[in-house]
């Protein structure tokens, strides 16, 4: 029974102990009740938090976030409520940041961008921290910067989505989360696959459901995020233990980002108009102003010809009228 409760509470895609339920063992069916009883809350699992050496209340920054691992506690996330919570900020004034805290149980630490969520198959940095150990992680970041005109390019052409672009070709991309990311799209795709084959979804999905099949999600077609940075692990300490209760976790950045990926648009609609104008000017000696001048001249001449014709008609009509009066 202990293995069953552990598999349900900390579901990772498979429930190995569930086979005993099919062989006569009475297993609880209310998975939500199991999660509430055996999953640890923020205050019970995280403590003694410091940011750049300054202490702060852990649960003001680590806010609950529903994921396919169950309820996680995330800091600097766009998907928590309130958004971000107590933000841990680093800049040229503060320098590279360092976060330290004590974990009172075995934990999994995921490092990812603010618009991302922890995922089973995403490439975010994952570290397992066992109780009583000391874990130090040092990372570097390469930022992604977009040219302002990137927003004007269609999603199909730029092959990425911004966080606010949750709409799909068929309408609204319905999701538990408010902002788009590749990991969220993959989670939604996995949910659709599970509904298709099993007419239900596993109990740790951020929607209501039951434990089910987990497969085929690598075939999902999801676009990457347009602002997704690249995280690299510079150093991750081996397992070392200390005599103090709990696990000491230290996460820091080697330095502020010094490299950037820049997404530029090779040609915009304005560039196309300028190019066409240049070609016309090169081969025909014309420009947009000369074309407008020709159109204006043609229209002006047409109006002038009409005016002269009308005046001649009036003069001719006046002469004919005077001649008729003389004859009478």
pLDDT tens sequence across 52-110:
999 999 999 999 988 877 788 999 998 888 887 788 888 888 888 899 999 998 888 99
- For residue 310, tell me if it sits in a domain: no
CA atoms within 13 A on the CB side of 85: 20
Q: How many domains does the chain have?
A: 1
Query: Is a pLDDT exceeding 60 seen at residue 173?
Result: no
Backbone angles phi, psi at 109, to 5 degrees: -105, 125
The model's pTM: 0.70
- For residue 117, tell me if it sits in a domain: yes
- For residue 296, tell me if it sits in a domain: no
Q: Are strands 240-241 and 63-67 parallel, antiparallel or unpaired?
A: unpaired
Taken in order 198, 204, 209, 210, is the CA torsion positive or negative?
A: positive
By residue range, what is the domain housing residue 209? Answer: 40-269
pLDDT at residue number 213: 44
- For residue 275, tell me if it sits in a domain: no
DSSP code for 285: S
- For residue 204, tell me if it sits in a domain: yes
pLDDT at residue number 151: 87
> Could you tell me which of 182, 159, 161, 210 has the C-alpha nearest to residue 29?
210
- For residue 283, tell me if it sits in a domain: no
Do the Cβ atoms of 1 and 25 come closer than 8 Å?
yes
Establish whether the linkage from the previous residue to 82 is cis, with ω within 30° of 0: yes
pLDDT at residue number 310: 63
- For residue 186, tell me if it sits in a domain: yes
Rounded CA Rg of the chain: 34
- Choose between 168 and 209: higher pLDDT: 168
Give the integer Cα–Cα distance in Å for 155 and 161.
Answer: 6
Taken in order 212, 218, 220, 222, is the CA torsion positive or negative?
A: positive
- For residue 12, tell me if it sits in a domain: no
- Max intra-chain CA distance, the chain: 134
Average pLDDT over residues 16-41: 70
């Amino acid at each position: 029974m202990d293995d069953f409760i552990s598999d349900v509470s900390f579901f990772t895609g498979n429930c190995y102990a569930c086979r005993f339920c099919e062989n006569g063992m009475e297993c609880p069916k209310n998975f939500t009740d199991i999660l509430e009883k055996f999953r640890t809350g923020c205050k019970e699992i995280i403590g003694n938090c410091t940011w750049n050496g300054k202490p702060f209340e852990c649960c003001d920054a680590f806010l609950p976030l529903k994921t396919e691992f169950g309820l996680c506690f995330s800091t600097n996330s766009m998907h928590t409520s309130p958004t971000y919570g107590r933000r841990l900020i680093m800049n040229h004034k503060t320098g590279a940041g360092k976060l330290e805290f004590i974990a009172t149980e075995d934990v999994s630490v995921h490092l990812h961008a603010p618009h991302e969520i922890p995922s089973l198959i995403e490439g975010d940095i994952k570290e397992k921290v066992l109780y009583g150990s000391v874990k130090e992680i040092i990372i570097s970041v390469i930022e992604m910067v977009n040219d302002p005109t990137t927003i004007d390019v269609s999603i199909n052409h730029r092959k990425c989505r911004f966080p606010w672009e949750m709409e799909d070709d068929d309408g609204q991309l319905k999701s538990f989360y408010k902002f788009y990311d590749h990991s969220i799209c993959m989670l939604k795709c996995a949910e659709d696959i599970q509904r298709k084959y099993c007419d239900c979804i596993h109990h740790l999905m951020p929607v209501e459901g039951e434990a089910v099949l987990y497969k085929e999600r690598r075939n999902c077609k999801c676009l990457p995020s347009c602002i997704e940075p690249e995280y690299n692990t510079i150093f991750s300490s081996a397992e070392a233990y200390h005599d103090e209760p709990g696990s000491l976790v230290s996460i820091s950045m080697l330095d502020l980002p010094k490299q950037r990926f820049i997404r530029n648009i090779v040609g915009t609609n304005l560039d196309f108009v300028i190019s066409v104008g240049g070609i016309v000017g090169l081969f025909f000696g014309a420009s947009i102003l000369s074309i407008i001048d020709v159109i204006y001249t043609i229209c002006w001449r047409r109006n002038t010809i009409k005016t002269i014709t009308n005046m001649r008609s009036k003069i001719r009509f006046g002469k004919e009228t005077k001649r008729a009066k003389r004859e009478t």
